[in-house]
């Protein structure tokens, strides 16, 4: 198997605070890994390190076997808020900053993929929260990334929209063979989408459950959800 992202002895410290403690982890090509855990556990920091926006205090991150020293050019991030520019149409938001030649044609293809082909000339304020997040997803895919980094992208959506969006993300990721990392507080969502679920506790990767999505076994998913939930709960009691 080809390891796309590799973390070797990663530590991250802010001032006196050690946020990530000696993390070792490998992510394979096309794999979907969900990170769950309590607020402040270091999940977003981990994502920022993988995106190259921040540097580890010590240790090494490799992307396709090369040490990451700058921005991770093959990765794109999607955040909880869509960060769309209100004065630009939807298609202009998707193509904004894009260097590809056939920008509009490809942006339209992506908007169709996220089921918003008819909204290309609308403005962000004319869209619902879920629609805006679908635009954000299309924008993240515009540069044809190999790695998709999802930082709690569905956190602000209502339950039904969230469910639909989970299905859409799963479909697109599968079709494009994207290597994906999801940060979420929702254990069920983590299990539903992930091949692997990693519970982050106090800067450590505390629990890793493998082979969930591929097992296609409802009992296994339920068991995995319960195991992760009780791990996080017991971890939060220990911390108190
Ligand atoms: N730029 C920064 N400067 C100082 N401290 C920081 C910085 N970024 C994060 N931290 C601290 O690092 C710790 C981990 O933060 P991080 O955002 O990675 O956690 P998280 O698990 O993603 O939390 P949440 O789920 O709430 O987003 C927190 O205590 C936070 O206050």
pLDDT tens figures, 2-21: 799 999 999 999 999 999 99
Q: Which atom of ligand 1 is nearest to the CA of 54?
A: 1
Whole-angstrom distance, CA of residue 221 vs CA of residue 208: 14
Q: Would you say 120 and 155 are in contact if contact means Cβ atoms under 8 Å apart?
A: no
ipTM, 2 dp: 0.94
How far, in Å, from the CA of 19 to the mean position of ligand 1? Answer: 7
CA trace torsion 178, 152, 193, 235 (10° rounding) = 130
Minimum CA distance residue for ligand 1 atom 7:
14
118-168 pLDDT tens trace: 999 999 999 999 999 999 999 999 999 999 999 999 988 899 999 999 999
How far, in Å, from the CA of 60 to the mean position of ligand 1? Answer: 20
In which band, very low, low, confident or very high, does the pLDDT at 202 lie, cut at 50, 70 and 90?
Answer: confident
165-201 pLDDT tens trace: 999 999 999 999 999 999 999 999 999 999 999 999 8
How far, in Å, from the CA of 45 to the mean position of ligand 1? Answer: 6
Minimum CA distance residue for ligand 1 atom 6:
14
Report pLDDT for 2: 77
Single pTM value for the model: 0.92
Residue 57 CB less than 6 A away from ligand 1: no
Using the predicted structure, report yes or no on whether residue 101 has a pLDDT greater than 80: no
Q: In Å, how far are 71, 104, 107, 128 from 132, measured between CA atoms?
A: 26, 18, 15, 6
Residue 119 CB less than 6 A away from ligand 1: no
């Amino acid at each position: 198997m080809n390891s796309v992202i590799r973390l070797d002895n990663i530590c991250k410290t802010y001032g006196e605070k050690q946020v990530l403690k000696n993390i070792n982890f490998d992510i394979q090509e096309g794999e979907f890994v969900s990170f769950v855990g309590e607020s402040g556990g270091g999940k977003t920091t981990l994502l920022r390190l993988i995106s190259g926006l921040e540097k580890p205090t010590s240790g090494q991150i490799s992307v396709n076997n090369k040490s990451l020293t700058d921005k991770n050019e093959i990765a794109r991030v999607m955040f909880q808020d869509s960060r769309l520019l209100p004065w630009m149409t939807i298609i202009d938001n998707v193509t904004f900053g894009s260097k590809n030649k056939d920008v509009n044609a490809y942006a339209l293809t992506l908007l169709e993929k996220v089921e918003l082909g008819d909204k290309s000339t609308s403005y962000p304020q004319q869209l619902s929260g879920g629609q805006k997040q679908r635009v954000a997803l299309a924008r993240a895919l515009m540069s044809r990334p190999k790695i998709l980094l999802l930082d709690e992208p569905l956190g602000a959506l209502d339950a039904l929209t969230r469910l639909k969006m989970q299905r859409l993300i799963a479909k697109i990721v599968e079709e494009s063979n994207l290597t994906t990392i999801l940060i979420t507080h929702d254990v069920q969502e983590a299990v539903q989408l992930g091949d692997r679920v990693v519970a982050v506790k106090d800067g450590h990767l505390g629990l890793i459950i493998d082979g969930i999505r591929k097992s296609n076994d409802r009992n296994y998913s339920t068991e995995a959800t319960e195991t992760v939930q009780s791990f996080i709960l017991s971890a939060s009691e220990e911390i108190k």
